[in-house]
Amino acid sequence: MTTASRRPRTRIQTRNRDAIMAAALDVFAAQGFRGATLDQIAEAAGLSKPNVLYYFPSKEAIHEALLADLMADWLAPLRAIDPAGEPLAEILAYVRAKLAMSRERSRESRLFANEILQGAPRMGPVLAGELRALVAEKAAVIRRWQAEGRIAPVHPVHLIMSVWALTQHYADFEVQVQALIDGDPWEEAERHLMHHFTRVLAP
């Protein structure tokens, strides 16, 4: 209390802060930033509205905290692509990891989709900075693999984006997917995408 730390210090602070983040993830993912209300977040967190604002200065601040948390984990699978690995196996592992992440963290995926759809008002700099740099780095790796004839010559950046599009689709458009698929969409999706990218990339 005498120190100006932004981090929660007591157990109760940690617990409530986490509860707010979890509740806000639910609400922002389902309704978008403008559609979400502090009332909804407070109720989902089991707190009063003023108490939520005791932990975060504003609705916007909660949203920003969620997005900041998101990016690190979100890019981990792409970071994990190993230039020294076997090309096709590396990329298929990436697809599998990204699909698993879409499945297990579909709310995060929709939070992100909402942000980008609205023109990335809060994450624009991250896209042009961190994301662009990482994609460029991995695109160079893929290009080298292609020059060595180890995978098919597909535009590397579009290839990476196609992995995003195809995996995130199952999370972001989940309602539509479930209206069209009777079984477990995720099981089918994994088989489909493995087969799909194997055909695209086999040299």
Partner DNA sequence: GTCTATAGAAGGATAGAC
Partner DNA sequence: GTCTATCCTTCTATAGAC
Binding site for a copy of itself (CB under 8 A): 30-35, 110, 113-114, 116-120, 124, 127-128, 131-132, 135, 152, 154-155, 157-159, 161-162, 164-166, 168-169, 172-173, 175-177, 179-181, 188-189, 191-192, 195-196, 199-200
Judged by CB under 7 A, does residue 121 bind DNA? no
Check: CB of residue 149 under 8 Å from CB of residue 59: no
Among candidates 78, 67, 70, which has minimal Cα distance to 105? 70
What is the C-alpha to C-alpha distance for residues 109 and 117, in angstroms, rounded to an integer?
12
Judged by CB under 7 A, does residue 60 bind DNA? yes
Query: Which lies closer to DNA via its Cβ, residue 48 or residue 198?
Result: 48
CA angle centred on 175, ends 169 and 176, rounded to 5°: 70
What DSSP state is assigned to residue 129? I
Q: How far is the CB of 150 from a copy of itself (least distance, A)?
A: 16
C-alpha distances in Å from residue 180, one per residue of 16, 110, 130, 149, 175: 39, 19, 36, 39, 9
User: Residue 188 belongs to what H/E stretch?
Assistant: helix 185-201
Query: Which lies closer to a copy of itself via its Cβ, residue 17 or residue 196?
Result: 196
Q: Which stretch binds DNA (CB under 7 A): 44-52, 72-80, 114-122, 179-187?
A: 44-52
Residue 154 Rama label (left phi>0; alpha psi -120 to 50; beta): beta
Which of 26, 30, 49, 169 touches DNA by CB under 7 A? 49
What DSSP state is assigned to residue 164? H
Packing angle between helix 87-104 and helix 132-147, nearest 10 degrees? 150
Q: Which stretch binds DNA (CB under 7 A): 31-39, 115-123, 152-160, 186-194?
A: 31-39
Which of 9, 79, 155, 192 touches DNA by CB under 7 A? 9
Judged by CB under 7 A, does residue 149 bind DNA? no
Q: How far is the CB of 127 from DNA (least distance, A)?
A: 25
Check: CB of residue 30 under 8 Å from CB of residue 110: yes
Query: Which lies closer to DNA via its Cβ, residue 39 or residue 82?
Result: 39
* Site for DNA, rule CB under 7 A: 8-10, 12-13, 16, 36-39, 47-51, 53-54, 57-60
